[in-house]
Copies of this chain bind each other. A is one copy, B any other.
Amino acid sequence: MTSETNQNTAHPVTMRDVAEAAGVSIATVSLVVNEKKNARIGDDARKRVRDAIRDLGYRPNALAKTLVSGHSKFIGLVADAIATTPFAGQIIHGAQDEAWKHGYVLLVANTDGNADAEREAVGMMLEHKVRGILYSTWYHRATEVPAGLRETDFVLVDCYSPDDDATAVVPDEVQGGRTATQLLIDSGHRRIAMINTTTPSPAHEGRLLGYQQALAAAGIAYDPALVFDALPEQEGGYDSVEQLLASGATAVFCHNDRVAMGLYDGLRRRGLSIPEDMAVVGFDNQEVIAAHLRPPLTTVALPHYELGAKGIRLLLGIDEHRPNQLVTVDCPPVLRSSIAEAAHIAS
């Protein structure tokens, strides 16, 4: 019952139509279409063919071209849930922009972490002779490399394989944690808490290490009593308020923006103001949230766009890297209004 959508569908233009319009043989059209530059075709005939292709709207068959060359202009992106969660979508954006720049089309398959779907997606891509595959996760984590990936070039994006040397590009969690903490130190805070996540992950370990490094560099002693673990969402931040206030901290680095959002609600419920009573910095720069809290949240951005773009450049060999190197991308600060100067705060 979709036929009425196609009432304007024209008969597809064939190579024969082009040949007739240009007054040449089908073989000549084929040579022009397949860009055989050394073929002996007069400039005039070549121009007539190109004009006819344009005037008739002829579309060369990409699949036939692929069969001849042995690989297609596709790059696959296998993702667990990137396209369907409101997070990390910029990985697709970055990969797509970079792929297009080099004449490739991104073929996206979302597997929702289902092993069967993943095997099928990788198999489909291999059958379509992709140039290579980006294998990506919606949050930074360790992963195993699915067997099929080794049949082509591949790069892991936002994930890595602890047990082998597969090329991987991930956010620099340590630098990100250091940057977030430094923002608070630069505003004069000395007693700085951290609400970390309860989930063991590169983000949990890396951001904590960055926090410790920034404190050490500023000559502030690390106090484990200032670090709490909480669920990495609004409810975790909300439930951390008592502990945070009891710690005597004047500033807090939240594991992510959702935690900061919940913390905002908890602090306000007690009549406290941000940033006057508590300076807050988040992590992620999550769209829809970070810029729209009251006050707008100062945070550190996860570089999802750049992870996708870098993955393509590594896959195509445009960017080089050393063997066994985990390629990292910086997490830049995003300055808004949730950090006040601490000069007037008694510490």
Contacts and interface: CB of A to CB of B under 8 A. Distances in A.
Contact of A110 (B92, B110, B258): B92
Interface-central residue, A4, A84, A96, A100, by most chain B CB under 10 Å: A84
Interface in A111-144: 112, 117, 120-121, 123-124, 126-129, 132
A270 to B, nearest CB: 12
Interface in A1-43: 1-2, 4-6, 8-10, 12
A9 B61 contact: no
A112 B315 CA distance: 24
A347 interface: no
A286 B287 CA distance: 12
Contacts of A67: 61, 63-64, 67
Interface residues of A, number: 81
A176 to B, nearest CB: 20
Nearest to A167: B5
Given A107-B107, A110-B96, A127-B62, A294 B265 contact: yes
A233 to B, nearest CB: 6
Interface in A52-76: 59-64, 66-67, 72
Interface stretch (A150-158, A194-202, A240-248): A150-158
A261 B63 CA distance: 49
Contacts of A89: 83-86, 89
A310 to B, nearest CB: 12
Instruction: State the number of copies, please.
Output: 2
Contacts of A286: 86, 288
B86 A317 contact: no
Contact of A258 (B106, B112, B292): B292
Contact of A4 (B87, B165, B258): B165
A59 B108 CA distance: 20
A221 interface: no
Given A9-B152, A110-B92, A258 B288 contact: yes
Nearest to A87: B86
B117 A100 contact: yes
Contacts of A235: 292
A190 to B, nearest CB: 30
A272 interface: no
Listed from nearest, the 8 A-B pairs whose CB atoms lie closest are A86-B86, A62-B127, A234-B292, A84-B93, A108-B108, A1-B320, A84-B89, A5-B167
Interface of A: 1-2, 4-6, 8-10, 12, 59-64, 66-67, 72, 82-87, 89-90, 92-93, 96, 100, 105-110, 112, 117, 120-121, 123-124, 126-129, 132, 150-155, 165-167, 233-235, 238, 258, 261-262, 265, 268, 286-289, 292-294, 314-317, 319-321, 323-324
